[in-house]
Structure 1
Amino acid sequence: MVGIYFSGTGNSKYIIEQFCREYDGNAATYSIEDHDALLAIKNAERIVFAYPVQFSTVPKMMRDFIVDNKGLWKNKKVFVIATMGLFSGDGAGLLGRILKSCGAEVVGGLHVRMPDIVADVKALKRPLETNRELVREAEQKVKKAVKDLKEGHPANEGLGPFYWLAGFFGQRLYFGHKTKEYTSKLKIDKEKCIGCGKCETLCPMKNITVTEQKAVSGSRCTMCYRCINKCPRQAITLLGKSVIEQSEIEKYL
């Protein structure tokens, strides 16, 4: 088995590493940003995916990765993990359907609640200990999912018509348009920005550049919230107007 993931602040990375370690201590994990990921996928028979859902759908960067490499998925057995702050409907099923259309066999799906990463919106903000408890519960859920998978009755969260209805009417009908394309709405406060370049280095889309000691964003933001949660001056926002709380997985371990 090989693990493939996309992660903003580390939630999905942490979960897939836990899953692969529990399944097979020798199983390697790769970010879709890793140049070695494609070779690992080519040589693997079983693949587990993990990614954060956005408005009950898959981040555009992850969708593009699957579609751009559609020849790799034929006859692969895939298990899909969707991480979320609260709700996703058919988050795992959505990527599963894309993979199935490329010839993969979807063998299961799992939804895992994790600390919220949307740093500039008040919704879903929780006390530190509550977030730590969420992570502990997630670890136990992953252990059970691996056990069930090994015993031949894998979890099927996010798969099937009921989950599709929940995802579509719960979020995608109203907000799905936000993730169909990359966004140009990332905002950088020039007064707060110190031009440190951290956001430029972290951005998976190479959408941010530092010019004249100030960060400038382009039009290909994939809404991963990596730069917003890591900016030392809280100078970057996307959905909201100011940073409420920065989050990254290390705070909750």
Structure 2
Amino acid sequence: MLGVYLSGTGNTKHCIEKLLSLIDKESVIVPIENNDSINLIKENKTIYLAYPTQFSNIPYMVRDFIKKNKDIWKGKNIFLLTTMGAFSGDGTGCAKRILRKYGAKIIGGLQIHMPDAVADSKMLKKTFEENQRIIMEADKKIEIASKNIINKKYPKEGLSFFSHLLGLFGQRLYFFNKTNKYSKKLKINNDCIECGLCVKNCPMSNLIIKNGKVVSLNKCTMCYRCISQCPKKAITLLGKKVYEQCRFEKYCKK
């Protein structure tokens, strides 16, 4: 069994690792940007694909990965696990429709509420205790889902026509073009010390150091990995100021 995931702040990584560890301790789990991910998908019959939902849509990095490698999905059994800060809607269904087009069988879907990854919006900020509670509830949901999956009772969250309509009219139509614009608006301010951490950790290779400055190449997938790890809080995307650097491990210290 194989797990392939995109994770910016650790939420999705935690969820896929916990789920598969409960289902099959021999599972292999790799980030989607790993060079071995394509070959591993070819070698496995059942794949658990996990990613964060963005504005009731699939991150374009994941969408492009599926489309670019369209020949590897035929005959595969795919379980979709999506994480979200508030609203998932059709974020799972978007991948379902693309994968089915390429011959995959969608065996189930699971949508997990996790701490919001957006670090530069004060409106989305929650207390430490609130985020811990969210993670505890998520873990309980994953434990229940794992037992059902072991018994071949796969959850089908986010795969229905109702979810499609809810996501389409609830968010996706309004935000469709905005997400493309956001991906080109990553900002690095003068507090940047050119440490290179963001360059190293970007799954899109979107950031480079050029002439002593960190430069964005306008292909941000909005994972918030660089924003949540910058030691100087020098990077923003949706807002103008980083209010809290959101990383999963932060809420697991106590």
TM-score > 0.5, shorter chain as reference:
yes
Q: Paired residue for 1:200?
A: 199
How do 1:125-140 residues align onto structure 2 when only pairs under 5 Å count?
Answer: 125-140=125-140
CA RMSD, aligned part only?
1.3
Q: Which runs of 5+ in 1 are unaligned?
A: none
Q: Describe the SS at the equivalent of 2:123.
A: coil
Letter in 2 for 1:48: Y
Which whole-Å CA distance do the structure 2 matches of 1:206 and 1:98 have between them? 25
Instruction: Please identify, of 118-127 and 11-20, the stretch whose mean Cα deviation from structure 2 is larger.
Output: 118-127
Query: Quick check: 1:100–1:106 contact (8 Å CA) kept in 2?
Result: yes
Q: Paired residue for 1:57?
A: 57
Q: Paired residue for 1:184?
A: 184
Letter in 1 for 2:51: Y
Q: Describe the SS at the equivalent of 2:61.
A: helix
Which whole-Å CA distance do the structure 2 matches of 1:246 and 1:97 have between them? 33
Query: Quick check: 2:182–2:237 contact (8 Å CA) kept in 1?
Result: no
Which whole-Å CA distance do the structure 2 matches of 1:122 and 1:192 have between them? 20
How do 1:108-187 residues align onto structure 2 when only pairs under 5 Å count?
Answer: 108-180=108-180, 183-187=183-187
Letter in 2 for 1:201: K
Give the deviation of 1:214 after TM superposition. Answer: 2.2
Give the deviation of 1:43 after TM superposition. Answer: 1.0
TM-score, length-normalised on structure 1? 0.96
Letter in 1 for 2:179: T
Letter in 2 for 1:208: L
Query: Quick check: 1:194–1:213 contact (8 Å CA) kept in 2?
Result: no
Query: Quick check: 1:60–1:179 contact (8 Å CA) kept in 2?
Result: no
Which whole-Å CA distance do the structure 2 matches of 1:80 and 1:123 have between them? 29
Q: Describe the SS at the equivalent of 1:118.
A: coil
Q: Paired residue for 1:238?
A: 237
Which whole-Å CA distance do the structure 1 matches of 2:213 and 2:15 have between them? 34
Which whole-Å CA distance do the structure 1 matches of 2:184 and 2:90 have between them? 27
Letter in 2 for 1:69: N
Which whole-Å CA distance do the structure 2 matches of 1:182 and 1:135 have between them? 28
Residues 187-228 of structure 1 show CA distances to partners (whole Å, capped at 9, x for unaligned) of 110x21111111111111111111233211121111111111
2:202 equivalent to 1:212: no
CA 111–193 in structure 1, closer or farther in 2 if over 3 Å, else same: same
Which whole-Å CA distance do the structure 1 matches of 2:81 and 2:114 have between them? 12
Query: Quick check: 2:55–2:88 contact (8 Å CA) kept in 1?
Result: yes
Query: Quick check: 1:10–1:248 contact (8 Å CA) kept in 2?
Result: yes
User: What is the percentage of aligned positions where both structures have the same residue?
Assistant: 49
Q: Which runs of 5+ in 2 are unaligned?
A: none
Q: Paired residue for 1:102?
A: 102
Instruction: Please identify, of 171-180 and 77-86, the stretch whose mean Cα deviation from structure 2 is larger.
Output: 171-180
CA 25–181 in structure 1, closer or farther in 2 if over 3 Å, else same: farther
Which whole-Å CA distance do the structure 1 matches of 2:141 and 2:225 have between them? 25
CA 97–55 in structure 1, closer or farther in 2 if over 3 Å, else same: same
How do 1:6-17 residues align onto structure 2 when only pairs under 5 Å count?
Answer: 6-17=6-17
Which whole-Å CA distance do the structure 1 matches of 2:152 and 2:20 have between them? 17
Q: Describe the SS at the equivalent of 1:19.
A: helix
Residues 16-59 of structure 1 show CA distances to partners (whole Å, capped at 9, x for unaligned) of 00111011001010111111111111111111111001110011
Query: Quick check: 2:50–2:80 contact (8 Å CA) kept in 1?
Result: yes
TM-score, length-normalised on structure 2? 0.96
Query: Quick check: 1:49–1:80 contact (8 Å CA) kept in 2?
Result: yes
